[in-house]
């Protein structure tokens, strides 16, 4: 087996390779003055099982194109198989037609990957529960929830003074799964409205098995699959504080951190923000409240360590 990496998250590829007592094989990525990319696989891969590590976060299109070329280069060079480790998959939120005339963007990128004949795809906490339905290829969707649950147990946070919170109703499956990992910890969800044109968020109320009155003086563990603009997390944290919560810890698998999200999270009512390294966070987007937990061992285990 040989491991290759695109440019989106080389640090994660290095961690995975280290766990597996391997090294990342070289790929040359040359960018022409007009922005076109040329990819060269710089190692013999004839009859080798190969792995490509590449999240497709910002810049999404660039990372996808680079990925397509790496896969094609490996197969043209005689690779026996290609396993794609894509912890974060761009366009997964566009899994159906929201308005007339729209493309189903997730379906398009899946068809491109399948046309390239990828043998297996490993991803983490997909936003859409329908992801497997789009693929004919074998898809393994791992979850950082177990990583977060273990961290929470090590902290000694339990139902005596702690409650799980989903920042929206779309995360009910996730929060129930997390609850089962933590001895059926109590949970509650916020109900929000989002303006699709402006992106503004209004949180109206809570729903769930925990009475709102019991939030007072609790520690809230907010769990989500990703943080993009940071607005949902910030608004939910403020709403929790206004209902008497004393401490707020945020857990999210994918730190997309678009635009001013890091600044918004730093000044929010969240005490800490824990994320996985599914997406590389550049130094300019790191902030004091941020802590990164690694999924490298989980990936290595799935690859057959």
CA gap 52, 119 in Å, rounded: 11
Please provide the CATH number assigned to the domain covering 2-142.
3.40.50.2020
pLDDT confidence of residue 201: 66
pLDDT confidence of residue 128: 85
**Phi, psi at 196, each rounded to 5°:** -65, -20
pLDDT confidence of residue 195: 63
CA gap 225, 126 in Å, rounded: 8
pTM for the model stands at: 0.93
Q: Cis omega (within 30 of 0) on the bond before 59?
A: yes
CA gap 97, 257 in Å, rounded: 25
Residue corresponding to tokens 């999404």: 60
pLDDT confidence of residue 194: 63
pLDDT confidence of residue 200: 64
**Phi, psi at 289, each rounded to 5°:** -80, 0
Question: Read out DSSP for 9-74?
Answer: -HHHHHHHHHHTT--BPPEEEEE-TTS-EEEEE-S--TT-EEEEE----SSHHHHHHHHHHHHHHH
Equal CATH topology for 2-142 and 145-294: yes
Its CATH class, for the domain covering 145-294, is alpha beta
CA gap 228, 2 in Å, rounded: 32
CA gap 172, 165 in Å, rounded: 9
CA dihedral 202, 205, 207, 211 (to 10 degrees): 150
Question: Domains of the chain: which residue ranges?
Answer: 2-142, 145-294
pLDDT confidence of residue 302: 97
CA gap 126, 220 in Å, rounded: 24
Of 35, 122, 115, 124, give the one whose Cα is nearest residue 71.
115
Catalytic residues: 192
CA gap 208, 175 in Å, rounded: 11
For every one of its 305 residues, what pLDDT tens digit does the chain have, with 9 covering 90 and above?
999 999 999 999 999 999 999 999 999 999 999 999 999 999 999 999 999 999 999 999 999 999 999 999 999 999 999 999 999 999 999 988 888 899 999 999 999 999 999 999 999 999 888 888 999 999 999 999 999 999 999 999 999 999 999 998 889 999 999 999 999 999 999 987 766 565 566 777 888 888 888 899 999 999 999 999 999 999 999 999 999 999 999 999 999 999 999 999 999 999 999 999 999 999 999 999 999 999 999 999 999 86
Residue corresponding to tokens 């990828």: 118
Of 105, 92, 132, 84, give the one whose Cα is nearest residue 226.
92
Buried-state track 82-109, b at ≥16 Cβ within 10 A, e below 16: bbbbbbbbbbbebbeeeeeeeeeebeeb
């Amino acid at each position: 087996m040989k491991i290759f990496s695109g440019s989106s998250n080389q640090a994660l590829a290095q961690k995975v390779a280290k766990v597996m007592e391997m090294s990342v094989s070289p790929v040359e990525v040359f960018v022409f003055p007009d922005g076109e990319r040329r990819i060269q696989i710089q190692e013999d891969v004839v009859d080798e099982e190969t792995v490509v590590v590449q999240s497709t976060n910002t810049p999404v299109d660039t990372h996808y194109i680079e990925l397509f070329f790496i896969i094609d280069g490996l197969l043209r060079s005689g690779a026996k198989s290609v396993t794609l480790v894509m912890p974060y998959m761009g366009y997964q939120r566009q899994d159906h037609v929201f308005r007339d005339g729209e493309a189903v963007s997730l379906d398009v990128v899946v068809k491109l990957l399948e046309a390239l004949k990828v043998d297996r795809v490993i991803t983490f906490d997909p936003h859409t529960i329908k992801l497997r339905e789009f693929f004919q290829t074998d898809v393994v969707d791992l979850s950082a929830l177990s990583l977060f649950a273990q961290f929470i147990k090590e902290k000694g946070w339990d139902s005596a003074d702690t409650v799980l919170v989903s920042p929206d109703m779309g995360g009910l499956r996730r929060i129930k799964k997390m609850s089962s990992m933590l001895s059926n910890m109590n949970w509650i969800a916020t109900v929000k409205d989002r303006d699709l044109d402006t992106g503004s968020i209004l949180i109206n109320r809570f729903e769930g098995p925990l009475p709102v009155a019991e939030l007072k003086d609790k520690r809230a563990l907010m769990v989500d699959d990703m943080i993009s603009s940071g607005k949902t997390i910030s608004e939910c944290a403020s709403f929790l504080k206004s209902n008497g919560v004393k401490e707020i810890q945020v857990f999210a698998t994918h730190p997309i951190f678009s635009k001013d999200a890091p600044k918004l999270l730093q000044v929010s009512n969240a005490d800490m923000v824990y994320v996985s390294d599914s997406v590389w966070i550049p130094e300019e987007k790191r902030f004091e409240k941020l802590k990164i937990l690694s999924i490298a061992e989980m990936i290595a285990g799935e690859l057959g360590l």
